[in-house]
Amino acid sequence: MSVIDMKGITKRFGDLTANDQVDFSVREGEIHSLLGENGAGKTTLMKILFGMLRPDEGTIVVKGREGLLTPASAIRRGLAMVHQHFMLFNPLTVAENIVLGHEPTKVFLRKKTIEGQVASLARQYGFKMQPGIRIEDLPLGTRQRVEILKALYWGADILILDEPTAVLTPPEVDELFENLRRLREAGKTVVIITHKLKETMALSDRVTILRQGKTVSVLDTKETSPEELARLMVGRDIRFDAFPAVESTQPVKLQLIDVSLRAHADIGLRHVDLQVRAGEILGVAGVDGNGQRELASVLVGLAVPERGAVILNDREVTRQSARKRYSQGLGFIPEDRMDGGLVSGFTVAENLILGYHRLAQFGGNRLNQPAIRAFAEGLIRDFDIRGAQPDTLIDRLSGGNQQKVMLARVFAQNPDVVVIAQPTRGVDVGAIEAIHDHVFALKQAGKAILIISADLDEIMKLSDRVAVLFEGRIVACRQRSDWSEENLGLSMAGRLVDSKEVISA
Ligand X SMILES: Nc1ncnc2c1ncn2[C@@H]1O[C@H](COP(=O)(O)OP(=O)(O)OP(=O)(O)O)[C@@H](O)[C@H]1O
36 binds ligand X (CB under 6 A): yes
82 binds ligand X (CB under 6 A): no
Indicate the residue among 146 and 394 with the shorter CB distance to ligand X. Answer: 394
CA distance 83 to 48: 15
16 binds ligand X (CB under 6 A): yes
- Report the largest interatomic distance among the alpha carbons of the chain, rounded to a whole angstrom: 72
Question: How many CB atoms are closer than 10 A to CB 143?
Answer: 17
Indicate the residue among 49 and 330 with the shorter CB distance to ligand X. Answer: 49
396 binds ligand X (CB under 6 A): yes
Cβ at position 53, least distance to Mg ion in Å: 13
Stretch that binds ligand X, among 42-50, 289-297, 359-367, 474-482 (CB under 6 A): 42-50
Q: CB under 5 to 8 A by kind: which of Mg ion, ligand X, none does 472 bind?
A: none
Q: Are 132 and 95 in contact (CB under 8 A)?
A: yes
430 binds ligand X (CB under 6 A): no
CA distance 383 to 324: 27
190 φ/ψ angles, rounded to the nearest 5 degrees? -130, 130
Indicate the residue among 130 and 212 with the shorter CB distance to ligand X. Answer: 212
97 binds ligand X (CB under 6 A): no
CA 416, 422, 428, 432 torsion-angle sign: positive
SS3 content of the chain, % helix, strand, coil (to 5): 35, 25, 40
Cβ at position 445, least distance to ligand X in Å: 29
Indicate the residue among 43 and 402 with the shorter CB distance to Mg ion. Answer: 43
What SS3 string covers 146-190?
HHHHHHHHCCCCEEEEECCCCCCCHHHHHHHHHHHHHHHHCCCEE
7 binds ligand X (CB under 6 A): no
**For residue 405, with 0-12 CB atoms within 10 Å meaning exposed, 13-18 middle and 19 or more buried, which class applies?**
buried
Q: CB under 5 to 8 A by kind: which of Mg ion, ligand X, none does 13 bind?
A: ligand X
The contact mask relative to Mg ion for 444-473 (x = CB under 5 A, - = no) is ------------------------------
Q: What is the DSSP letter of 195?
A: S
43 binds Mg ion (CB under 5 A): yes
Indicate the residue among 93 and 208 with the shorter CB distance to ligand X. Answer: 208
Interface ranges with Mg ion (CB under 5 A): 43
Interface ranges with ligand X (CB under 6 A): 13, 16, 18, 36, 38-44, 387, 396, 398-400, 428
